[in-house]
């Protein structure tokens, strides 16, 4: 007898799960399915689980493909199960390709291809539906987004769109995702929501078209380059009763939310100054190093620096001053934005080609908060006081590499109406950032015009 084993959470059971189990069964004579516990799913980074394990196991059993169902509840169990049950084939979906190659010393390892083109046949849950999402843009962040969706329950990437045919076909071939190169309206018809990860200058138009088609939108920053357009897009989303979120992932991290709560608690007194720095030395030829119109240091990284400032001091600053160091073609390699409030100051620094310590410092009348680099991936922070021997240290859980899954989980919660009121990144805060972006664009264009 040839024994096959596979694993999964199988939350909100849908056609993709069904097809994976069907293909797994075809690999042998006896299929064992491991269903993960809620605790283990959380430990391995799975967010937004809906169904209890009893329901998930019942759904697997009802397919008729499983000859045996077991529970997976701890790291390392796969090796134990393979040996215990005398497994011949271990299999998972192709989105895990390479991750379990270490099991080849125990049995054959097969990664099953995705079921391409799943959309209308997805099953719906009474309490929460699976959100069919399409990716607009197939560049460097699209594969990361696709990978992180596997850790968030309630979402299925069903297609992608890119008018550049070479990039689109390469993405489709590698990830088995149906990818459109034209007929944008047809692309939209297959989805409930879109993730906009195209070049910066195309964001606002894709957002507009998607919202007017009744689709929920998660858009990479900057969503737009002007205050008026940002306000208009959020108004359109409200009118069309869809979710619109700008993707500044730090806003959704548990550690950053804890940081904001501690800063607001009064433990450091009145906040008088904030300094936030985000710099990277980009690779030659990348967008942030070469695009003089729609990229550069501030447009790529400035939103992160403005985030804690607007969250803690508000949007109603009295004055803002923007200074930049420019490189070739007038691309800003380093930009400093200084805000003056009635009783506080704040500085957001962004660098692309200039490297500095990526700290966040929040100074108050009783002490200060220090978040060490990279503060935008907040895992912990210190509260320090006049007495150098007194330090309160805070730690927070962090799943994944860059926090993208928390952003995705928040978006899905908003789409399904379970996310509560907007407070992590409000429309007003996003619009206020667009206002600063507009001021920066005007200043940089003036500098570039003077060079011509």
**Residue 234 pLDDT:** 98
* The pair of three-digit structure tokens given for residue 181, joined into one six-digit string: 């190169």
Helix or strand or coil: residue 288?
helix
Alpha helix segments (H runs only) across 150-200:
165-175, 184-189
Summarised one tens digit per residue, pLDDT across range 241-292 is: 999 999 999 999 999 999 999 999 999 999 999 999 999 987 888 888 888 8
Mode of pairing for the β-strands spanning 89-93 and 271-280: unpaired
DSSP sequence for 60-102: HHHTS--SEEEEE-STTHHHHHHHHHT-SEEEEEGGGTTTTGG
Interior angle at CA 61, CA 55 and CA 64, nearest 5: 150
**Residue 74 pLDDT:** 86
Nearest Cα residue to 247 out of 392, 452, 113, 409: 409
Helix or strand or coil: residue 109?
strand
**DSSP code for 103:** G
**Residue 391 pLDDT:** 95
Cβ–Cβ < 8 Å for 341, 268 = no
Determine which helix (DSSP H) or strand (DSSP E) holds 312, and give its type and residue range: helix 297-313
Mean pLDDT by 10 residues, the chain (452 residues): 95 87 96 91 78 92 96 90 95 90 95 63 50 95 93 91 96 94 96 96 97 98 97 98 96 93 95 97 82 92 97 97 94 96 98 94 98 95 95 87 91 85 92 98 95 82
**Residue 118 pLDDT:** 46
Summarised one tens digit per residue, pLDDT across range 390-414 is: 999 999 878 888 889 999 999 999 9
- Per DSSP, which regions of 377-449 are E strands? 380-384, 391-395
**Residue 128 pLDDT:** 53
How many Cβ atoms from other residues are within 10 Å of residue 348's Cβ? Answer: 29
Domains annotated on the chain, with CATH? 3-112 (3.40.50.620), 131-247 (3.40.50.720), 251-451 (3.30.360.10)
Nearest Cα residue to 154 out of 113, 211, 193, 115: 193
**Residue 38 pLDDT:** 83
């Amino acid at each position: 007898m040839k024994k096959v084993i596979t694993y999964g959470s199988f939350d909100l059971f849908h056609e993709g799960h069904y097809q994976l189990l069907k293909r797994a069964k075809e690999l042998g004579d006896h299929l064992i399915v491991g269903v993960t516990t809620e605790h283990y799913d959380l430990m391995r980074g799975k967010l937004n689980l809906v169904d209890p394990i009893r329901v998930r196991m019942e759904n697997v059993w009802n397919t008729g493909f499983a000859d045996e169902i077991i529970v997976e509840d701890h790291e390392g169990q796969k090796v134990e199960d393979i040996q215990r049950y005398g497994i011949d084939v271990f299999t998972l979906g192709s989105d895990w390709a390479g991750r379990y190659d270490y099991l080849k010393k125990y049995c054959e390892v097969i990664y099953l291809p995705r079921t391409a083109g799943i959309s209308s046949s997805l099953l719906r849950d009474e309490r929460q539906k699976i959100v069919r999402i399409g990716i607009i843009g197939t560049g460097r962040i699209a594969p990361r987004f696709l990978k992180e969706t596997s850790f968030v329950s309630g979402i299925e990437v069903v297609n992608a769109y890119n008018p550049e045919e070479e990039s689109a076909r390469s993405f489709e071939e590698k990830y088995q995702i149906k990818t459109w190169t034209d007929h944008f309206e047809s692309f939209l018809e297959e989805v409930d929501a879109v993730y906009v990860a195209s070049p910066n200058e195309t964001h606002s138009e894709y957002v507009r078209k998607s919202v007017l088609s009744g689709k929920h939108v998660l858009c990479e920053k900057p969503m737009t380059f002007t205050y008026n357009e940002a306000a208009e897009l959020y108004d359109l989303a409200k009118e069309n009763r869809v979710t619109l979120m700008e993707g500044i992932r730090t806003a959704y991290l548990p550690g950053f939310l804890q940081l904001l709560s501690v800063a607001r608690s009064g433990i450091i007194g009145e906040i008088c100054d904030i300094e936030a720095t985000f710099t990277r030395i980009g690779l030659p030829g990348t967008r942030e190093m070469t695009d003089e119109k729609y990229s550069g240091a501030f447009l790529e990284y400035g939103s992160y620096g403005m985030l804690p400032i607007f969250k803690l001091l508000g949007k109603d600053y009295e004055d803002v001053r923007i200074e930049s160091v420019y490189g070739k073609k007038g691309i800003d390699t380093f930009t400093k934005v200084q805000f003056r409030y009635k009783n506080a100051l704040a500085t957001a620094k962004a660098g692309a080609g200039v490297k500095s310590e990526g700290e966040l410092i929040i100074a108050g009348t009783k002490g200060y908060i220090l978040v060490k680099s990279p503060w935008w991936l907040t895992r912990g922070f210190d509260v320090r006081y006049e007495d150098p021997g007194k330090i309160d240290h805070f730690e927070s859980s962090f799943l994944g590499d860059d926090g993208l899954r928390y952003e995705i989980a928040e978006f899905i919660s908003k789409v399904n109406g379970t996310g509560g009121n907007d407070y992590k990144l409000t429309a007003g805060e996003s619009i206020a950032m667009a206002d600063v972006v507009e001021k920066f664009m005007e200043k940089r264009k003036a500098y570039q015009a003077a060079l011509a």
